[in-house]
Amino acid sequence: MSWEPGWDIGSYAEAYRAGASVRDVIGAVLEALTAAPTGVLIGEPLREPALEQAGTLELRGSDGLPLYGVPFLVKDNIDVGGAPTTAGCPGFEYIAAGDATVVARLRAAGAIPVGKANLDQFATGLVGTRSPFGLPPNVLRADLVPGGSSSGSAVGVALGLVPFALGTDTAGSGRVPAALNGIVGWKPSVGRASGRGVVPAVRRFDCPSVFARTVADARRAAEAMSGPDDDEPYSRTSFPMASSPTRRLGIPAAWPEGTAPDADVLGWFEEALERLADQGYELVPVGLEPFFAAGDLLYGGPLVAERYVAVGDAVAAGLVGLHPVVSGIIEQADKWSAADAYRAEYQLAEFRRAVDPVMQRLDALVLPATPTLLTIADAITEPVTANMRLGRYTTFANLLDLAALVVPIRTDGVAVPAGLQFLGVAGSEDLLAGLGAEFIGESFTPTTSAHRVDVVVVGAHLSGQPLNHQLTDLGGEFVRATTTSADYLLYRLRGGPPLKPGLVRSATGGGAIEVEVWSLDPDSFGRFVQQVSFPLAIGPIELADGTWQAGFVAQPAAVVGADDITAVGGWRAYLATQLHA
């Protein structure tokens, strides 16, 4: 089975099941990348390390690796160990000492980075024209910008060179280029995926993002790369509990002055709303003023000073290859005072207070991803004005703590350079994925039911153990048996009955511990958690596939002096040793 451009993640799995060699498949992908249009990649494909990882995977096998042998591109402000990171500026280049957390997690799931993708320099821009490494082509219309800042990542996916690619999204960089090239753009909640190893733009609002050609592929990659990171201060360990879907979608009550989309985009958007209504959604008019006003704070006010904190020293040093528009934006950012910054924070808090009750009543807010079809000529002639207009419908999302998904705006098989954007409250990624997939007619299976919450159990709540009834009495459903990652220690806690184990994550390594994943509806999950008491707690647990789930962990004080039983690999195995002791 020979590789051809356009494979999705499932195509790779099918090829390997049919006996294809990972080295051969990845070799073909690398060869195709050498012929990619100018501006897609920065530097050569990562040939030697990619083939080395492919060989290692073949020896290991695919068990437990959901992205086994799947190639991906990495936006070149995200570190890949041993490869250069430029952030779109030749004079900024350094060799990354290790993988960014998101890259490391994707590798752990079996995925292979095969190239570094072009971007608007220092991730400053939404147009894709601000790079000394060339201009990636818009795959749908040659006269239009490809979108930025994650231009190369989006174009590489749209061309079918890889099934998914990593971008970043601060103001829309993971959504605008997806829309303009007719693919899916997944922007998770702020803090869902770690920013460690990413050259920051506005660090507290940056989101590693995913481009793919299907919602399912974007979600699979996003799940593999996401989870808490103890070494990243803006990483989040939990999100609000998902509410039940309402089938209510917010739509613009009116377009504030100067914000309406161009005629083509407006026509496609109105057709999309008709489709959503036909699918049974209630369309609720929403005032957009606080959303857009919040977005204006990012680049039109003192919050832009965070860009100076990130790369201002590099710009001040006059590095080789600085883009004049980018350097001009970053240099201006140093003019704001601390008092200005606090005033902006107060304004942002007011906008969040205005928006939160609106969003809580909806499954999502629906907007076009972009308001206009921006030509390359216009982006070069009026770089700042054109860029601000292009981001009008995306810039506010991270400031207001919203997740977002962009899908193609037309569903009749005619590809157009525009996307439909679903925006939801933090933690609503799975709900948004269902909305986007249904809109474009893609089959979709939630990670669990949209009405259920997963919990990982490790001891007395396992199937057949004395406290398992606490799950089943609440309608708990068994999801799967698996293990943790190899970074956990297991202890036999003092006290009982019943006997209980304690699971603790170890920075110095440990073992993979047998666990089960169960699901509960949100109300039952809340009642279940209320039964948990010292020495146990509910906290994040990394599973063998690299995903993170809430589950039983021991509080550190509880394991002092307790017996370390990590070597037996699980609670059932430990109990068996006691029966035969």
Q: How far apart are CA 4 and CA 6, in angstroms?
A: 6
pLDDT at position 450, please? 43
Tokens 């700042």 correspond to 384
Tokens found for residue 559 = 């394991």
Portion of the chain with pLDDT greater than 70, in percent: 97
Query: 3-state class of 504 per DSSP?
Result: strand
173 is catalytic: yes
Q: Which of 131, 151, 153, 173 is catalytic?
A: 173
Q: Assign 433 to helix, strand or coil.
A: helix
Tokens found for residue 272: 């999309």
Q: What is the mean pLDDT of residues 338-356?
A: 94
Q: What angle do CA 280, 284, 286 make, to 5 degrees?
A: 150
Residue 225 has pLDDT above 50, yes or no: yes
Catalytic residue among 131, 149, 189, 194: 149
**Confidence band for 581, pLDDT divided at 50, 70 and 90:** low
- Check pLDDT > 60 for residue 447: no
pLDDT at position 448 over 50 = no
pLDDT for res 213: 97
411: exposed, middle or buried (Cβ count in 10 Å: 0-12, 13-18, 19+): middle
- The chain-wide mean pLDDT, for the chain, equals 92
Query: Would the pLDDT of 151 be above 90?
Result: yes
Containing 11, the helix (H) or strand (E) segment is helix 9-17
pLDDT band at 468 (very low <50, low <70, confident <90, very high): confident
Whether the predicted pLDDT of 393 surpasses 80:
yes
Residue 330 pLDDT > 50, yes or no? yes
Q: What's the pLDDT band for 378 if we cut at 50, 70, 90?
A: very high
Supply φ then ψ for residue 252, to 5 degrees: -60, 125
How do residues 266-278 score in pLDDT, each as one tens digit?
999 999 999 999 9
Quick: pLDDT tens for 488-499. Answer: 999 998 876 778
pLDDT in tens, 37-91: 999 999 999 999 999 999 999 999 998 889 999 999 999 999 999 999 999 999 9
Give me the mean pLDDT over the 316-341 stretch: 87
pLDDT digits (tens, 9 = 90+) for 564-575: 999 999 998 998
Q: What is the pLDDT of residue 332?
A: 81
**CA triplet 477, 244, 191: central angle to 5 degrees?**
90
Q: Would you say 175 and 211 are in contact if contact means Cβ atoms under 8 Å apart?
A: no
Closest CA relative to residue 500, chosen from 490, 510, 512: 490
CA–CA dist 490, 512 (Å, integer): 9
Tell me the C-alpha distance between 473 and 524, whole Å.
Answer: 10
What type of residue is 561?
G
Q: Which of 35-49, 206-220, 492-506 has the lowest mean pLDDT?
A: 492-506
149 catalytically annotated? yes
What structural domains and CATH numbers belong to the chain?
9-440 (3.90.1300.10), 453-579 (3.10.490.10)
User: Confidence band (pLDDT; 50, 70, 90) for 449?
Assistant: very low
Confidence grade of residue 244 (pLDDT, cut at 50, 70, 90): low
Here the contacts of 535-540 (C-beta below 8 Å, separation 24 or greater) are 535/493, 535/502, 536/500, 536/502, 538/455, 539/237, 540/227, 540/228, 540/237, 540/238
Reply yes or no on whether the pLDDT at 446 is more than 80.
no
CA distance 375 to 379: 6
Average pLDDT over residues 335-358: 93
Using N-to-C axis directions, what is the helix angle for 324-332 and 383-390, rounded to 10°? 80
Give the phi and the psi of residue 571 in degrees, each rounded to 5.
Answer: -70, -40
Residue pair 509/470 in contact by the 8 Å Cβ criterion: no
pLDDT, tens digit (0-9, with 9 covering 90-100), for 92-115: 999 999 999 999 999 999 999 999
Please state, in angstroms and rounded to a whole number, the distance separating the CA atoms of residues 187 and 191. Answer: 11
Q: What string of DSSP letters covers 517-570? A: EEEE-HHHHHHHHHT--TTEEEEEEEBTTS-EEEEEEE-GGGGTT-EE-GGG-S
